[in-house]
Amino acid sequence: CRAVDTRPAYGGNGPIQGGTHQDFPISGAGSCGVLASAAAYSMNVSVVPNGSLAYLTVWPAGQSQPLVSTLNSLDGRIKANAAIIPAGASGEISVYATNTTNVIVDVNGYFAPVTGSTLAFYPLPPCRVADTRDSSYPPGLGPPYLTGHQERQFPILNATTCNIPSSGVAAYSLNFSVVPHAPLGYMTVWPTGGSRPTVSTLNDIPGQTIANAAIVVAGASGNVSVYPTSDTDLIIDINGYFAAAGQGGLSLYGVQPCRVIDTRHVGSGQPFTGTLSPPVDVVDTGCGTSNLAQAYVFNASVVPTGELGYLTLWPDGATQPVVSTLNALDGSISSNMAIVPSTNGKVDAYASGLTQLILDISSYFAP
């Protein structure tokens, strides 16, 4: 559901002026049905800049502006990034932009205060569910590529090797990567069986390989539907799911957005390639996470020195999975939300090319 659109043509009051911030009500307002008691929001934040946008930051209203970023658009392109943001004062969020830009916020869920009836999060080892380029995937999860202006259902539960329960799943935590055949205006994802919503999951007007995370409600038969405006291949990775509270289920705990690591200011400050060493020690960074945390909600940003095929984040101590967190083939500063499980308070990172890495945390999952 579209909660914020600053563009006057869509009922907004105009763009956020560079160097300023605005507060926006999310819960208890509009037609999105978000409870006023919501503790945090799952959203997709899109920018339509007037020119170069150094960065945009989203945080709970009423708190001091944190030294983190939600997305960057140095070349002025329309970009989107997923985010889980704790609810601020009066259920509002604050948005700061370094340069003048319109902002669109689409809400795909919220986290209510924990009760016996709220859903729990169950982390999974990052796993590839679908790849339309690869015929070895189960029925419905491989070729053909997606055709522009046509809907396609993806039977997520057919990915039996990903250990997703065959029943009882209410929503998935997914990462969508597109490999467009031409400029891709936007792609929308929603629960199969419902009407296609007037929102976007990602935008890719340059036609680059890019990724964006999304929490998607499980639709009919556990499927999700996808609609692209142009032909594109699609890759879907999963890192967890939401279901009724039970053994192993986790709840969300918000923290003031905080920078966990910026490799530009660690050690020699040189970019890395391959596996980052040492691993990212999240629990000891002073960002307010509990040592009971079993998954972290990051905004992952890369500052590549050239082409970066992909970056992957995964639990420290586990085998590197065949998934990607984000892509930056054009060498641009790129970001994506990542929910990364962890068993020891640390996470691992792998980069296919030289890059700096920034991880900002907004919340974590724990018993």
Contacts of 268 (CB under 8 A, 6+ apart): none
Q: Looking at the predicted structure, is the pLDDT value of residue 287 above 70?
A: yes
Q: Looking at the predicted structure, is the pLDDT value of residue 23 above 90?
A: yes
Report the percentage of the chain scoring pLDDT > 90: 92
* Mean pLDDT for the stretch of residues 155-167: 97
DSSP 366: E
Report phi then psi at 91, rounded to 5: 75, 20
* Mean pLDDT for the stretch of residues 222-247: 97
Rounded distance, CA 184 to CA 202, Å?
Answer: 9
* Per-residue pLDDT tens over the stretch 24-35: 999 866 678 888
Tell me, what's the pLDDT at 27? 84
DSSP 329-351: TT---EEEEEEEE-SSSEEEEEE
Tell me, what's the pLDDT at 30? 65
The answer to whether 275 touches 301, Cβ cutoff 8 Å, is: no
Rounded distance, CA 246 to CA 132, Å?
Answer: 34
Tell me, what's the pLDDT at 29? 60
Contacts of 55 (CB under 8 A, 6+ apart): 69, 70, 71, 72, 97, 98
Rounded distance, CA 103 to CA 3, Å?
Answer: 11
> By mean pLDDT, which of 4-13, 25-34, 270-279 is the weakest?
25-34
Joined together, the tokens standing for residue 327 give 């892509």
How sure is the predictor about 342, in pLDDT bands with cuts at 50, 70 and 90? Answer: very high
**Global pTM value:** 0.93
Tell me, what's the pLDDT at 312? 98
CA dihedral 218, 219, 220, 224 (to 10 degrees): -90
Tell me, what's the pLDDT at 294? 97
Q: Looking at the predicted structure, is the pLDDT value of residue 230 above 70?
A: yes
Rounded distance, CA 128 to CA 62, Å?
Answer: 39
* Mean pLDDT for the stretch of residues 192-199: 94
Per the prediction, the chain carries an average pLDDT of: 95
* Per-residue pLDDT tens over the stretch 97-154: 999 999 999 999 999 887 777 899 999 999 999 999 999 999 999 999 999 999 999 9
* Mean pLDDT for the stretch of residues 313-339: 96
Intra-chain end-to-end CA distance of the chain, in Å: 29
Contacts of 327 (CB under 8 A, 6+ apart): 177, 208, 209, 210, 211, 308, 309, 310, 311, 334
How far lies 224's CA from each of 34, 149, 351, in Å?
22, 16, 29
SS3 labels along 9-26:
HHCCCCCECCCEEEEEEC
